[in-house]
Amino acid sequence: MKADPTIKAIMPVHLYGHPCEMDAILDIARRHRLAVIEDAAHALPASYRGRMIGAPAGDDVTNLVAFSFYANKNLATGEGGMLTGPQHLIDQARKWSLHGMSRDAHQRYTEEGSWFYEVELPGFKYNMPDVQAAIGIHQLARLPQMQRRRREIVDQYDEGLAGMAGLERPVQRNDVESACHVYAIRLNLDRLTINRSRFIAELRQRNIGSSVHFIPIHIHPYYRDKYGFTPDQFPIAYGAYQRLVSLPLSPKFSDGDVADVIEAVGDILEQNKH
């Protein structure tokens, strides 16, 4: 099939830290000469078939990978992030991110000296502040340890929630290592007398915070009104949304904290089953 020439890139999202099926995506990109721009906001550290998300995917495909260091992420600096990809694009992005300024090495050795720079593009002010980068460097050192703890918690959730008929646990494929950023269960609403909002309220009553990742774009007012979307125009996204609950997950949790969540979930499902 011939690709639509207006399509320039594929943008996979490694949702919850679980890598997408990258071989298939890269294969399509190579065949149709598309760039692959990965949303890896949740995916540090994660790997797909032994290759870290963010590591080069090969010379024959243009591949950029964006990570987030926002306050709730696995590595958090408050705001900021990281971009990986081919050197020439990273150099270009660096320029765009700071007023379009060029500080190429060769220019420092001209007669103008080290103070010299030129504005080559109408750039932005998207640079990462040094203070936040300093926080990030120390978080980076702790990342493997935090990741091990996330993994343990996810394993405890998987084991503790197994066999509960009122929910579906997240799946992890064998050939990937997930960053375990979010643990999202899906409620089996046909087995329950309550909806997702009530389930979350019941958790709250038991002093357990939870969240929903994510509200589908097409029901947000701006997109809904601009494009005239109705909820059932994207029935899979909308159906999944109504079932989703993200259980709390932090490397700071004790085993007891995780057990409390599992017990509360079991209790709510039991009290509200059909």
273 is catalytic: no
Identify which of residues 32 and 213 has a Cβ nearer to ligand PLP in the complex.
213
Closest Cα partner for 17 from 153, 181, 157?
A: 181
Residue 184 binds ligand PLP (CB under 6 A):
no
Binding characters for ligand PLP, 42-81, by CB under 6 A (x = yes): x-------------------------x-x----------x
Q: Which residue's CB is nearer to ligand PLP, number 81 or number 136?
A: 81
Of 1-9, 34-42, 198-206, 227-235, the segment contacting ligand PLP by CB under 6 A is 34-42
Phi, psi of 190 (to 5 degrees): -70, -15
Distances, alpha carbon 47 to alpha carbons 129, 160, 211, in Å: 28, 25, 25
In this chain, which of 39, 120, 152, 158 binds ligand PLP, going by CB under 6 A?
39
Query: Could you say which of 8, 73, 226, 273 is catalytic?
Result: 73
Chain centre distance of CA 187: 22
Segment contacting ligand PLP by CB under 6 A, of 38-46, 160-168, 193-201, 249-257 = 38-46
Shortest reach from residue 43's CB to ligand PLP, in Å = 9
3-state secondary structure of 34: coil
Per CB under 6 A, the segment of 37-45, 133-141, 149-157, 249-257 that binds ligand PLP is 37-45
The beta-strand segments (E) located in 85-222 are 101-102, 118-119, 167-168, 176-177, 183-187
Beta-carbon neighbour count of residue 144 at 10 Å?
A: 10
Sheet (strand 63-68) strand order? 9-10, 35-39, 63-68, 81-84
Which residues are at the interface with ligand PLP (CB under 6 A)?
A: 13, 39, 41-42, 68, 70, 81
| Active-site amino acid positions | 73
